[in-house]
Amino acid sequence: MTTIRRFSCNDLLRFASVNLDHLTETFNMSFYMTYLARWPDYFHVADGPGNKVMGYIMGKVEGQGESWHGHVTAVTVATEYRRQQLAKKLMNLLEEISDKIDKAYFVDLFVRASNTPAIKMYEKVWFFEFFLYLDISCWLIIPSL
């Protein structure tokens, strides 16, 4: 059974194993703490049996006027829990929070151009905007179709 709940400070000590995938963006501890403090509604964790972290999503709301939107900063699911629609559930939750709480007009995210599985999932499941970038070191953003 999976439980999705708001991320807590204690989870920062539990989720390192989920970040081991080479396609997962990782950040320093202060980055995670900033998101947890500024946008707690946008930071959720999925717990599995034995209180094991299965995945998490971290985001924020930003922009002005008609570009007021939710943004997915990171979403990842541990390898052993993939293909169970957990990422879809986490993304749907963030989309709902963006809409219902913050009245955002859309949700966006950036995805590495080499992350083909994620790109296919986003194209198949969601209608919101995502941008490809070629390399983390250059942050070149290429709009999707």
**What gap in Å lies between CA 133 and CA 94, rounded to an integer?**
22
- The pLDDT, as a whole number, for residue 137 is 47
**What gap in Å lies between CA 126 and CA 105, rounded to an integer?**
15
Residue 124 lies in a domain: no
Residue 123 lies in a domain: no
How many structural domains is the chain composed of? 1
Is pLDDT of 54 > 90?
Answer: yes
Residue 117 lies in a domain: no
Residue 54 lies in a domain: yes
Give the pLDDT mean for 64-80: 92
Look up the domain containing 50 and give its range: 3-109
Residue 82 lies in a domain: yes
pLDDT in tens, 1-36: 899 999 999 999 998 889 888 878 889 999 999 999
CATH number of residue 89's parent domain: 3.40.630.30
pLDDT in tens, 86-145: 999 999 999 999 999 999 988 888 888 788 888 888 777 765 555 555 555 444 444 444
